Chains A and B, each alone.
Chain A
Amino acid sequence: NAGVMQNPRHLVRRRGQEARLRCSPMKGHSHVYWYRQLPEEGLKFMVYLQKENIIDESGMPKERFSAEFPKEGPSILRIQQVVRGDSAAYFCASSRTATNYGYTFGSGTRLTVV
């Protein structure tokens, strides 16, 4: 029973390139959450998705960032035209239902922009 799977674990992109981060939720989970962790900081909420719907994107930067969770396949966090300030760890979490009891995080993707 695999946990939340994120890939790649590490991603290096040059400034101006696109970064695609993938998250496969736990089996049976239809709610996905993305968080960003800048160096030496706590995690900050970005977006909450259910299958084919964005429920809350209040933490997403207004430009260059987008997220999707299609009917089939993993959730994707996409960052276009990356800049050095996008370098961070991006964590995904999932839950079976909308819950106030927390959820399980994946191991994260560490994005480095050079």
Chain B
Amino acid sequence: AQKITQTQPGMFVQEKEAVTLDCTYDTSDQSYGLFWYKQPSSGEMIFLIYQGSYDEQNATEGRYSLNFQKARKSANLVISASQLGDSAMYFCAMFTVQGAQKLVFGQGTRLTINP
């Protein structure tokens, strides 16, 4: 079975600082994809970044980067130069070939950016 673990229920960070949100995953599948989504207070799910299990380089999308450590089964999200608008829930999720089109989500981390 596939599982995503996010161990930080809440994080508080000063504006302009970098922040790392932790995500570890468990799967026996060799082929999988890892995702991060942002859910602001308005409730929608916003796709941030994707990392494939065979990708050799860490994914980056603007201020977002994914620190992918395959041997440790971790896929941490790094947000550089945090902004007040980054305050939201953040979810790590995983696809596997065996999981057949199903995304498995972690419990989420609530990030609060302080001015």
Contacts and interface: CB of A to CB of B under 8 A. Distances in A.
A98 B101 contact: yes
A89 B50 CA distance: 24
A48 B101 contact: yes
A56 B105 contact: no
Contact of B44 (A40, A55, A108): A108
A99 interface: yes
A24 to B, nearest CB: 16
Interface residues of B, number: 26
Interface in A17-70: 31, 33, 35, 40-45, 48, 55-56, 58-59
Interface residues of A, number: 27
B47 interface: yes
B97 A42 contact: no
A92 to B, nearest CB: 10
B63 interface: no
A100 B43 contact: no
Interface string A82-99: 000000010100000011
A81 interface: no
A41 B108 CA distance: 7
Interface of B: 4, 31-33, 35, 37, 43-45, 47, 50, 52, 91, 93, 95-97, 100-108
26 contacts: A31-B101, A35-B103, A41-B107, A42-B4, A42-B107, A42-B108, A43-B91, A43-B103, A44-B105, A48-B100, A48-B101, A48-B102, A55-B101, A56-B102, A89-B43, A91-B45, A98-B101, A100-B31, A100-B32, A100-B96, A101-B50, A101-B52, A102-B47, A102-B103, A106-B44, A108-B43
Given A102-B35, A102-B50, A107-B44, 17 more contacts: A33-B103, A42-B93, A42-B107, A42-B108, A43-B93, A43-B103, A43-B105, A48-B100, A56-B101, A56-B102, A59-B102, A100-B31, A100-B95, A102-B103, A105-B37, A105-B45, A110-B43
